[in-house]
Structure 1
Amino acid sequence: MGALLIAPVLPELQRSFAGTPGVEVLAPLVMTVPALSIALLSPMAGMVVDRLGRTRLLRWSMLAYAVVGTAPLWLHSLAAILVSRVLLGVIEAAIITCCLTLIGDYFIGARRDRYLAWHSMVASSSAIVFMAVGGILGAFGWRTPFWGYAIALPLLAAMTVVLREPRKDLRGADTPVVGVSGLPRRLAPLLTLTFIGGVLLFFVLQVQLSFLLDDLGIGSAGIGAAAALANLGVTVAAMSFARAARHGANHPLIAGFAISGLGLLAMSLGDHWLTITAGAVVCGVGGGLLMPALLIGTTSQLAFELRGRGTAAWISVYSLSQFFSPVAVAGITAMVGTLDRSLLVCAMAGWLTAVIARWML
């Protein structure tokens, strides 16, 4: 929700601040700049989580999320909105680190892998809802979708009742024991692939789909519907991940890169809402295989003492890729001339990375 709720209204937001210098770059950053805060502060959140506990930080962060998330309803400059989005990312860093660390604490082995796959599925399912809601609310003005961030309040109430701080003796017997001074070296290729996959594939779909459809004259409701269908592809793939990963997470990881590239190819060649949306769905299927494989591959390397920091490292890289994705696409577009051509470049990069991943892993 943090980013995708407002994706359908980005073109309208950009037009609303047309007089702001650099609005072509700043408007997409309203969606992606929280990811920079997450990337920079997740390691700190990981240390806090490991030392002070999970649930207390999570509850305070949810309250702050509701306040800061709705702030753009009353802000009247693009600069002020960007500042509020930076603060939102600070809060999201704590929330995401706490939630994924708790999954690692509560469950072990195949059960934990199943819950992490469910995490991706639930995130994608909620994305379908919030993208559609964002598109519908966007018909009443680009500010209206920001009311959606108030949903953190009922979630906070549920967390207060349900969640308990895990015992520190639950160390996850299947995870390797490593010194608390450093993270397993095997995380390096997984974190590298996470960054590449996020920059050139997963967030290209999430950020650029709205601009691709806006060029065809599609309104916010149509953009929201297309984005919801794309995330349905993510959900279906994440639901089938456990079966796809029966012989290890490497096969769905490689397939995720290849399928995402195929979807971006279809999007780059499409000239109609249906063809572009079909390509987006295929790209979503690839992302639904790719991201759970990378997350599970990372968390399976972590002992209890490092779970917060190791999970935060993955979140940091993942979020950094979200921030740099529109910047990278803008640079590629400047070189090749059009957005559809830049998507073709990203598709080829996805296929090349699939080959490299096969060699790395």
Structure 2
Amino acid sequence: MNTMKKDIGKAGIVAIMFMSSLTVMVGNAITPALPELGKVFGLGNFASWLVTAPALGVVVTSIFFGKLIDKVGPYKVGVAGLFFYGLTGVLGAFMPNAVLLFIDRFLLGAATATIMSSGVTLIAGFFQGEMQLKILAIQGMSMEFGGVVFLGVAGFLADFTWKTPFFIYALGFLALLMILIFIPAIGPISENNDDNNNQTNAKGVPLALVLLIAFLGMLMFFTAMVSLPIYLQNNLGYSPSFTGYYLAVLDLIAVLAAGFMPKIVAKIKAQGCLTIAFICYALAYILYFISPAKIILAIAVVFMGLGFGLSTPLFNSLVVSKSAPEKKGINASLCTMAMFTGQFLSAMLVSFISGLSLFIIASSIAIIIGICILPVSRYFAK
């Protein structure tokens, strides 16, 4: 059955979507200012760690917050997370040195862990079946659309000073207000589920492999997100505003792809959709390796956006479908941790492998993953 446990209305759905839109941009909001941040704080290429420092906060704290969600419910955890998201995000503009800035970014990541896992668990609490997949796809679109808007604004603001993009995080306070007004306070999901919602899909690829694919998918995406600002500005001479607009176009493509994702899954199943996503990642990196020409950059950004939009919403859907009600919070947090581990480790690739070598290595990884998905899923199906 495709029913809703409690009618939260369109305003409630919008509130969850706006909350979700803040998660992916947690690191990306400052990417247009990355080269200047590297100069101001003397970080050089290691400025990319400022983008992925929140991911470390997510990785370290996700399990704790996942257990807390299963214990007290996603509502209370999400409300607290949004408050600290807005607070720590804005405070980044006032950090006097790199050490304190990294600490602040780490705490911002911890807040992000709460709102990302809470958002997925709220959806699991209010929706089921095909409707749940559609809402998770819309959530994925919201995450990407947040990147479109916030990256475009961040690129514009970065032309003024490196500090101004940090004020985008104040949107966390607006999201907090919307959740308080439009979402009913619910407890743990296990207490809000009826018998029809206790079914899980334990067949097929095990949860651990789904989490591994989620990790690799985000590794592919964020390797581009932390390397492209440096590549576009330092190597090709483009401005911070151009970088912001370019990355915003990437996210816009991802929004459109996430919207079509459920239809693709209905025709060729999840494994087919994920195979296409990783092949798109590979093609994008190959194009970046081949030429810096504008037409090539334009085609590459389309493939990169397709890769992200066809994969990221699907990760959450697969994890939720394989989770019992009393485990949805912890498993959603494991998915969050896996994805942000990929984001965090992408900084290592960018820090130690630069230039065209990075693009060819990333494309090779994506090709190998894409080739392996179908055989592995068929093995476990048997």
Q: CA deviation at 1:219?
A: 0.8
Structure 2: distance between partners of 1:123 and 1:187: 23
**Residue correspondence of structure 1 range 231-250 to structure 2 within 5 A:** 231-247=251-267, 248-250=269-271
| Alignment partner of 1:170 is 2:186 | no
Alpha-carbon spacing, 1:246–1:177, altered in 2? closer, same or farther (3 Å): closer
Q: CA deviation at 1:274?
A: 4.2
Match of 1:211? 230
Match of 1:314? 335
Match of 2:49? 29
Match of 1:325? 346
Under a length normalisation based on structure 1, what TM-score does the superposition of the two structures give? 0.91
Structure 2: distance between partners of 1:84 and 1:277: 35
Contact 2:159 2:240 (C-alpha < 8 Å) held by counterparts:
yes
Which of 121, 138, 141 matches 2:158?
Answer: 138
Match of 1:198? 218
SS of the residue 1:2 aligns to:
helix
Which of 227, 239, 247 matches 2:247?
Answer: 227
Q: Deviations over 1:215-263 (max 9, x none)?
A: 1111101101110111111111101101111132111111101111101
Structure 2: distance between partners of 1:274 and 1:149: 33
Higher share of residues assigned helix: 2
Q: CA deviation at 1:328?
A: 2.5
Q: Deviations over 1:137-163 (max 9, x none)?
A: 001111111111111112111111111
Structure 1: distance between partners of 2:45 and 2:103: 15
**Residue correspondence of structure 1 range 1-361 to structure 2 within 5 A:** 1-18=25-42, 23-166=43-186, 168-171=191-194, 173=196, 176=199, 186-199=206-219, 201-214=220-233, 215-247=235-267, 248-331=269-352, 333=353, 338-361=354-377
Contact 1:137 1:144 (C-alpha < 8 Å) held by counterparts:
yes
Alpha-carbon spacing, 1:250–1:74, altered in 2? closer, same or farther (3 Å): same
Contact 1:232 1:284 (C-alpha < 8 Å) held by counterparts:
yes
Q: CA deviation at 1:306?
A: 0.5
Contact 1:260 1:350 (C-alpha < 8 Å) held by counterparts:
yes
Q: CA deviation at 1:52?
A: 1.0
Give, as a single letter, the amino acid of the residue that structure 2 aligns with 1:360: V
SS of the residue 2:196 aligns to:
coil
Q: CA deviation at 1:278?
A: 2.7
Structure 2: distance between partners of 1:360 and 1:165: 41
Give, as a single letter, the amino acid of the residue that structure 2 aligns with 1:341: S
CA RMSD of aligned residues (A): 1.9
Give, as a single letter, the amino acid of the residue that structure 2 aligns with 1:315: T
Alpha-carbon spacing, 1:89–1:308, altered in 2? closer, same or farther (3 Å): same
Q: Which runs of 5+ in 1 are unaligned?
A: none
Structure 2: distance between partners of 1:79 and 1:221: 27
What is the percentage of aligned positions where both structures have the same residue?
Answer: 23
How many residues are paired up?
A: 347
Structure 1: distance between partners of 2:201 and 2:51: 37
Match of 2:13? none
